Amino acid sequence: MMINGFNITSGVVNAAAYDNAKGIVLFLCKECLQGLGKLELPSAVAKAVEAYAAIHEDMFEVGTINTLVLPQEEGLLTVIVAGCGEGAECKPVAFRKAAGEAARALHKAKVGKAVLAAPILLNPKRGAYVEAITEGIYLGAYTFTLFKSKETKRKECEAVLLSAVAEADALVAKAAIAAEAVSYTRDLINLPGNILNPVMMADEAVKMAQTLPLEVEVLDETFMEINNMHAILAVGQGSNNPPRMVVLKYNGAGDAPYTAFVGKGITFDSGGISIKPDDNMGEMKDDMSGAGAVLGAMKAIASLKLKCNVMGVLACAENMPGGRAQRPGDVVRAANGKTIEVVSTDAEGRMVLADAVWYACHLGAKKVIDIATLTGAVIIALGKETSGIVANDDKVVEEIKLAGKYAGENYWQLPSLPECKEAIKSDVADLLNSAGRAGGCITGGLFIGEFVDAGIPWAHIDIGGTSTAEKTAGCKVKGGTGFGTLTLIKLAEML
Ligand code: BES
Ligand code: MN
Ligand code: ZN
């Protein structure tokens, strides 16, 4: 399967594996260098790498690309040593990053046939590294060129990943499906608001679900009115593009309880009447990254036919100012009966999610995880590499963190103190949609928790800092990262 210009298959380690290759990628940490001899490399390659290593101390830094070009009988052989760290750094996450860099180096060197090798894969128990390298190559090679009139052709690369892992074939296939899903999520994030509005997002979800064992339902404004979903309706009412809620159901475990993944799908967030400053407002096309991650994860979960029951709920709306837009000071009643005083129309994510997490519970979900570009405050608190978690149940948090470890995505739980709930109490309504700057990521999360049925374990993931990357590095490419997609897939595997 060709994804982002790569097709990866698995193979076993032997001298013949390197025949006809135009490129060899060696994934090495400092200690792994000792195992180079066991890879049965052409002797000229092994010699060149050893000589190079003798004089380059920093070559093992995670993600460093060292390119050696050796003459062959016919043409040249590109040898790429991808640094995977030293000591305890030699973990799958380092290999995923290094593979992302290696993918771009292979494309740059126009390598059409490559072999990927790593001493660590001589250990049959290193399946997680097989997955990480495969995901890293596919994701690092991602590009978004939809709107480029002139096509820039890259040389497609057939790559064979050598290992002693018995189930490598299945792992490579699984990683391909996961990487394809993350690429799909990235595409959705990178689409601008004029192309991807809430209706288009719903249409896309229906189209995607048709080819897979997924049940799909699209709720329009009329349905929302009938079900008293006045929070999402209020957010959407300022736009000519009406809101949509999308429910995708995957049944892979009979009558076991459903877990719900609920995503914020604001296809463009101008702030509404509480309008945002104009600098970089265009970045708010990414405000549907949570819904994008849910949609991508559902695609992979159904493709992999995982043994779990999962529903995905996308809460889609466009937040615009206008004559029909909601005003600061408005009071609206959400579907669960609680009233909300709208302090800021720019705190719209928690409003669409209020009705969406309620609907997930209404449909019978026994565990709820929402994912959203909810606040700028999470960037101040945790930076751009870590997503924040606010939850009512520590077990769900541990599950997310463990899945994140396998996915190479970082999480940090924020305190969910009852004291903080005081801040979102309103004088005129039940709740305020904004409690200002103090602990913004916490109060935003706690607000959403008020709409989850009592007794249902719930966690909120704030991807405000992680949903996009400012520069290309490792397996991230500038633009939408697809953060959360892999975590949700691995979480579903664990259910
Ligand atoms: N989508 C934004 C959050 C955001 C902003 C994420 C910048 C990433 C980068 C969200 O809808 C928003 O506007 N949040 C406000 C909340 C405030 C009004 C309580 C914020 O973070 O300023
Ligand atoms: Mn906003
Ligand atoms: Zn927003």
Q: What is the mean pLDDT of residues 383-410?
A: 98
Q: Which ligand is nearest to the CA of 433?
A: 1
The CATH architecture one would assign to domain 6-166 is 3-Layer(aba) Sandwich (3.40)
Q: How many residues does the chain have?
A: 495
The per-residue pLDDT for range 450-460, each reduced to its tens digit, is: 999 999 999 99
For 295-327, how does the pLDDT look when each residue is reduced to its tens digit (9 = 90+)? 999 999 999 999 999 999 999 999 999 999 999
Domain with CATH 3.40.630.10 in the chain: 191-494
Number of neighbouring beta carbons within 10 Å of residue 58: 8
- What pLDDT score does 151 carry? 85
What does the pLDDT look like over 38-94, one tens digit per residue?
A: 999 999 999 999 999 999 999 999 999 999 999 998 899 999 999 999 999 999 999
Ligand 1 pocket, residue 376 CB under 6 Å: yes
How far is the centre of ligand 1, averaged over its atoms, from the C-alpha of 377 (Å)? 7
Q: What is the pLDDT of residue 185?
A: 99
Which residues are known catalytic residues? Answer: 276, 350
**pLDDT score of 467:** 98
Residues of the chain with CATH 3.40.220.10: 6-166
Per-residue pLDDT tens for 241-292? Answer: 999 999 999 999 999 999 999 999 999 999 999 999 999 999 999 999 999 9
- Residue to mutate (ligand 1; options 275, 289, 346, 352; most atoms within 8 A of CB): 346
Which residue has its alpha carbon closest to ligand 1 atom 22? Answer: 376
Q: Which ligand is nearest to the CA of 444?
A: 1
- Ion ligand 3: protein residues whose beta carbon lies under 5 Å: 266, 269, 287, 349
375 lines ligand 1 (CB under 6 A): yes
Q: What tokens does 317 get?
A: 């709306």
**pLDDT score of 418 more than 90:** no
Tell me the pLDDT of the chain averaged across its residues: 97
Q: What pLDDT is recorded for position 392?
A: 97
pLDDT band, residue 417 (cuts 50/70/90) = confident
Specify the pTM.
0.98
> Residue 152 — very low, low, confident or very high, per pLDDT cuts 50/70/90?
confident
Question: What CATH superfamily is the domain 191-494?
Answer: Zn peptidases (3.40.630.10)
